[in-house]
Amino acid sequence: MSVFEIILISIGLAMDAFGVSIGKGLSMTVGENGRKVTLAFLFGLFQFLMPIIGWLIGRQFIDVISEWDHWIIFGLLGYLGIAMIREGLSDDDDDEENDKQFLGAWEMIMLSVATSLDAMAVGLTFAFLPINVWEASTMIGVITFGISLIGVYLGKFMGQFVGKYADILGGGVLIFIGTKILLQHLGIIGEF
């Protein structure tokens, strides 16, 4: 997997955190810089940790399922991508009420875990690829931190509708990467 592909995956994974950051940024005042940076940091930290956890789990089963690893990667990334697109297309505004409430440390941690579960599934796919999981996870965490920080600061100006489009874009990227890996493994397309 190339650095460019890891960057694309990082951006795709960061879209959930970006959408939540925009939503939470709507309810934070201008003077809450500490909480804004803390939220972005926690998103980045959990996006860094979860792929490593997924990779560790996947390494336990690599010998058993190595023949079907490309199908597993395709299935996991495809499922995550479709879920993100469905979430982006959803008219469900349950988060609107939560955006108006105080954002405490426990809520920040819970949001960080919730937005990083897909990163654990991606980490599981890393177990079947020739990849340095530490470098990839660091890249995912740093990119998520940066994108989340931008989202939380732009939240007041961009509005919640951007979060839905971010999920759709992120889901599309994950589906694209999963399909590319499958087609390369099947020999339908070459490396690019």
Query: 22-60: string of b/e by CB count within 10 Å (b at 16+)?
Result: bbbbbbbeeebeebbeebbbbbbbbbbbbbbbbbeebee
Quote the pLDDT of residue 161.
Answer: 57
Cα R_g (the chain), whole angstroms? 17
Residue pair 145/65 in contact (Cβ under 8 Å)? The answer is: no
pLDDT recorded at residue 159:
54
Specify whether the CB–CB gap between 139 and 9 falls below 8 A.
no
Is the pTM value of this prediction over 0.75?
A: no
Res 27: pLDDT = 67
- pLDDT band of residue 99 (cuts 50, 70, 90) is very low
Residues 59-77: tens digit of each pLDDT? 888 777 767 777 877 887 7
Nearest to 129 by CA among 59, 34, 82, 53: 59
Q: Write down the H helix ranges in 127-160.
A: 133-158
The pLDDT value recorded for residue 158 is 63
Nearest to 128 by CA among 80, 184, 45: 184
